[in-house]
Structure 1
Amino acid sequence: MSFRSQLIHKIRTYYRETPTAIKCLGYLENKYPFVKPTIDHTAYRFVNFKDCDRFVKNADSKYVLGGHLVFPLKATDKFPKQANWYHHPFYSRMFVSFLDIMEKDEVTLKKQFNTRPLNTTSLNVNIKDIPDPITVPIPNLETYNILASQDQYLAWALTWGESINHLAFDLSAYPDPFEQIIKEMAHDLCLEMNTNIHNQGDPTIMVSNDLLLKQASTKSDLVNGIPKAYIEFICRLKDPLTGKPRDGFDTFSANGIFESTNYNFQAVS
């Protein structure tokens, strides 16, 4: 199957499993009938760099590395996170993040998981294969929660594999300010928004240091009680030095967007 066919299938799956995205896009279409949102980037998560590199190479040879980000380690993180983003002459940007897992960490994880009474009946892989990427046809909440106790990002990447983590839609061409659009949409649709308490002003808006890149995201929808995909909105203002829309990504904002899949797992059932 070609990358284009795979991408179409992944996007169809994303829309089917992410009703919040359908609701938001329908709202924007009704409120702004003369403006169409475009996909700014498609995002994926992987366990390590070799899987990220393999995925991009298999995707399309026309993807060119646009930048590399190293995220600050949070107190709740077990492993550091990094990301690469890519340009393409026809497709939207691709944002691919991965954990910085060393071989010794993989050995430790395998030992920990092998000594725990996991319910692996729904997994099409032997638990000894963790933390290599796996495909879970019927994800198991108990297993997910045990993985999440190690690292939430790790749990998501192992559970959902090469599924789309989120789609980001560019609202730069809309007539109203980005902050107003997000605030009104969240209110009118009663959205559960991803928030960053460290943000000054509106905690739902992530703003880059140069103030040219603004982002916001919902909390992820659940599939079988497990956080999966979510929708992000982005606004790229013109750089006064180049006259072109701000390209790339901001490290702290992107790290904040990751919180969209964080949940109180005791409450998820």
Structure 2
Amino acid sequence: MSDVVALAEHAERLGIDAVSASDHPFPVVVPGSTGHHTFDPFVLLAQTAARTTRLQLVFSLLVAPYRNAYLTASMLATLADAAPGRVVVGLGAGYLEPEFEALGAAYDGRAGQVGATAAAMRTAWRGEPVGAAGNTLRPVPTESIRLWRGGNGPRAAREAAGLDGWMPFEAGTRIAAGSGTTRLRTDDLAERVAVYRETCGDRPGDVCFVRTSPSWLVDRPRAVDELGRLAQAGVSWVESGTPGRTPAEAKDDLERLAEVRAEAAVSS
């Protein structure tokens, strides 16, 4: 974990705005699977918060059905108390059925749990009672914990319009099939963002487009052009993944991202 936190410190020095952590406590990792191991995102982002001052700390994605909503609200409120204004939670439904089974979580009906979890957490964060006995949360966040709805499908985009943002991810045919979501490429994004914005009405909302592989950064002129086109399409954040390789290679990915962003002259 120390190498990952050191990379986050380097990202902050480069002027990158945020780092993210994903949520796979017990995946099945076999050839051809989309499952992969991760550090616990709460612990990792807490360590990152302690070693940085400006970086936004993004859960990408936190799987809503894996935990009790009020327990999750408490954990996030504690992190937000340590890093006020820096916590951003992408909430998703999850897709790895064997992981659900290992955790004793309900796979069927999982998409419906995302909105319910978001509503429950917001109630808790306002300090309102969440049970008949008058159960309340402390500490109540002093600054907003932003909630983004992850996922590519129409339901995800609709629910995102009632939260603080939408967090779709780049998915070709194979990845879309493996993760049980809607295919989404950069060329499709402008139309999908326009529909999301229309659903939002006058409410502002972030759009964070997740690019799961750093390969788009290899051709620098093309990457600069793509970043500019994404900004024009209404994307406010781009998350660029880096696979589990060596720290040196991941550092190179971060530096390429910072250079491309600077050349494209976009702010996030």
TM-score range, shorter chain: under 0.3
State the TM-score, normalizing by the size of structure 2.
Answer: 0.27
Point out the structure with the larger strand share: 1
State the TM-score, normalizing by the size of structure 1.
Answer: 0.27
Point out the structure with the larger helix share: 2
Higher relative contact order (CA 8 A, sep 6+): 1
